[in-house]
């Protein structure tokens, strides 16, 4: 199934970093980094929206990933969370890093914060991502969310029926244009 990566676009809050983490951790560059410089540290960032072309897609799941390495103790852990603008924080999972740069990824989540509602285009577009490192110190290179989706089924490509242009065909005998696969046994694609 196809995936799309969403990166932070702006910072909602940041504590315990020498600079705004968005400078290094959202640039899709695995060389730039920001290092925790206070015991109390976190970063919450607004995610970029899904492309409007995916508005009809089925959102199957998401994961949160961070490319990082442990700090002064040679190890570190951090809570990675998704936050919905209305439902609040959810999907929190603790990941751990050693002294070398690695990507850690949360388990795949398939539902909204309530645990039963399916993920949707609109729901994901109202989410932020948060990293909350422990006090061992962490160097963060990237933070991102990966969305797994199924593209919407394409409707039939009907160019004309009895000289009526496709753009003017909404239904044929009560069947919506998007649900028409063939007319008089001629398959449209």
| Residues 6 or more apart whose Cβ sits within 8 Å of residue 168 | none
* Domain shared by 135 and 161, yes or no: no
Q: Mean pLDDT throughout 1-7? A: 95
- pTM here is 0.80
Residue 119, pLDDT above cutoff 70 = yes
Residues spanned by the domain of 170: 155-189
* Model confidence band, residue 31 (pLDDT cutoffs 50, 70, 90): very high
104 φ/ψ angles, rounded to the nearest 5 degrees = -110, 140
* Domain shared by 23 and 106, yes or no: yes
User: Tens of pLDDT along 62-79?
Assistant: 999 999 999 878 899 999
Rounded CA separation 37/16 (Å): 6
Q: What is the pLDDT of residue 72?
A: 78
Residue 160, pLDDT above cutoff 90 = no
* Domain shared by 139 and 161, yes or no: no
């Amino acid at each position: 199934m196809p995936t799309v990566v969403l990166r932070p676009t702006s910072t909602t809050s940041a504590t315990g970093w020498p600079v705004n983490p968005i400078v290094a951790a959202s640039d899709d560059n695995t060389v730039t980094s920001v290092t925790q410089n206070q015991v109390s540290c976190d970063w919450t960032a607004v995610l970029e929206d899904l492309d409007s072309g995916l508005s009809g897609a089925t959102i199957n799941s998401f994961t949160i990933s961070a490319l990082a390495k442990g700090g002064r103790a040679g190890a570190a852990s951090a809570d990675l969370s998704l936050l919905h603008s209305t439902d609040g924080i959810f999907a929190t999972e603790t990941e751990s890093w050693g002294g070398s740069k690695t990507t850690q990824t949360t388990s795949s989540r398939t539902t909204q914060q309530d645990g039963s509602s399916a993920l949707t285009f609109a729901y994901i577009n109202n989410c932020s991502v948060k990293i909350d490192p422990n006090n061992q110190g962490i160097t963060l290179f990237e933070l991102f969310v990966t969305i797994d989706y199924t593209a919407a089924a394409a409707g039939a490509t009907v160019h004309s029926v009895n000289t009526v242009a496709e753009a003017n065909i909404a239904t044929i005998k009560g069947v919506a244009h998007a649900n028409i696969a063939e007319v008089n046994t001629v398959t449209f694609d």
